[in-house]
Copies of this chain bind each other. A is one copy, B any other.
Amino acid sequence: MNYQTILGKNDFIEYLRGKKASFLLAGSVSKTCEINGLSQAGIPGMMNLTPTLDAEFITTAQVRSLEDVPKTLKGVPTPALITRAVHELKPFADIEILNLGLTHVPQINYFDVHNFDIKPSDSIKTGANINAMEVFQKGVEFGQNFKTSNDYVILGESVPSGTTTANATALALGYDCKDSFSSSYKNSPNSLKAEVITQALETSKNSVDIFEKLGSVGDNMIIFNAGFILGSRANNLKLILAGGTQMACVLLTVNSILRSMGGELDSSNLALCTTKWINEDKNSDIKALLELLDFPINAYSANFDFSSSQNPLLKLYDEGEAKEGVGAGGALVYGLINGLNNETIVKKVESFLGA
């Protein structure tokens, strides 16, 4: 089998084999990413452009708001290349972009770029300053009204410094998960990250309710998508959360909101799909995070790596750099259950990087 079942059974993902998928990319910017050295998901000083460039690249194979694709300091190219490779080999039926507070609107035509009038959020060190209830409601409404002519939706994210805001959010919500969160670094900058998170929690400590907490330590992607998940249950939308610990945090947020409201969730049409790099990460624990949920969740990881590649930058993925993002894990599982194999995807990714 070319995927692994992390939690649940494989029936859900097998049911989706051969079916048509829409790919949604949720992009947001938090000024947390301006903290020097915290995130490596982009170019220092221009980290805020990363989600915009990712959106442009997966749709058109071009970056238009800058001259090159985002990469880490070590030169590891954005996981958008993986998502795009799958799309070229086994196209999604549709790609749509959710603008959840971008500094720059992606320069693309024809593709739906949903605008929710959401602003980039502030640094969580001093408070993200998000009207969380409003952003959440926008997500709920979008979920309730979301129609697709395809069979299911793969939801990816691009949020620089997103693992930090996710980690802070889960801690602020009271989950015991200090060591379960991932980072785009191989050697996660734990002291800096821990410091930012500690300050964020300190800043938010007087928050009186869950939305006040989310608005202080969270990011728009997490808050909106918690709403999207809940709202889309009305239509039983089959939804794959394509991501690692950030998407796990979205689920933890859903969980906390349900607890606070005394609500229940039918999670049978939900799953999380991530990369092998996340599933096997020694510095984080996606399974432990998902086991904190009160509801059962299907979770899978793609058996994909760059071991067949000669490209040293791609091989850094196998050593633990970058790991996940831009829906790469979900895109890979989608590709692998639709007839693609590891080597074909590797070759396609390599083709984007030249000889």
Contact = CB atoms under 8 A, between A and B. Distances in A.
A10 B62 contact: yes
Given A1-B61, A17-B87, A11 B93 contact: no
Interface string A1-26: 10000000111101101110000000
B111 A15 contact: yes
Given A94-B18, A111-B15, A10 B87 contact: no
A108 interface: yes
26 contacts: A1-B61, A10-B60, A10-B62, A11-B108, A11-B111, A12-B109, A12-B110, A14-B59, A14-B60, A14-B61, A14-B110, A15-B59, A15-B109, A17-B88, A18-B91, A18-B92, A18-B94, A19-B91, A19-B93, A19-B94, A88-B337, A88-B339, A90-B339, A91-B337, A91-B338, A109-B268
A9 B109 contact: yes
A89 interface: yes
Contacts of A108: 11
A317 to B, nearest CB: 23
Nearest to A238: B110
Do most interface residues of chain A lie in helix, strand or loop, or is the interface mixed? loop
Contacts of A89: 339
A92 B59 CA distance: 22
- Ranked 6 nearest A-B pairs via Cβ: A18-B91, A15-B110, A11-B109, A17-B91, A18-B93, A89-B339
A337 B61 CA distance: 12
A183 B91 CA distance: 35
A273 to B, nearest CB: 16
Interface string A77-107: 0000000000111111110000000000000
Interface in A43-100: 59-62, 87-94
A278 to B, nearest CB: 23
A339 B91 contact: yes
A35 B89 CA distance: 46
Nearest to A62: B10
Contacts of A338: 91
Contacts of A88: 17, 337, 339
A268 B17 CA distance: 30
Given A14-B110, A18-B91, 8 more contacts: A11-B59, A11-B108, A12-B109, A12-B110, A14-B111, A15-B111, A90-B339, A91-B338
A89 B60 CA distance: 24
A339 B91 CA distance: 7
A268 B110 CA distance: 9
A19 B92 CA distance: 8
Nearest to A64: B9
Interface in A88-146: 88-94, 108-111
Interface in A175-227: none
B339 A11 contact: no
Contacts of A87: 17-18
A275 to B, nearest CB: 20
Interface in A150-174: none
Interface string A288-319: 00000000000000000000000000000000
Taking each of A10, A92, A268, which has the highest tally of chain B beta carbons within 10 Å of its own beta carbon? A10
Interface string A251-275: 0000000000000000010000000
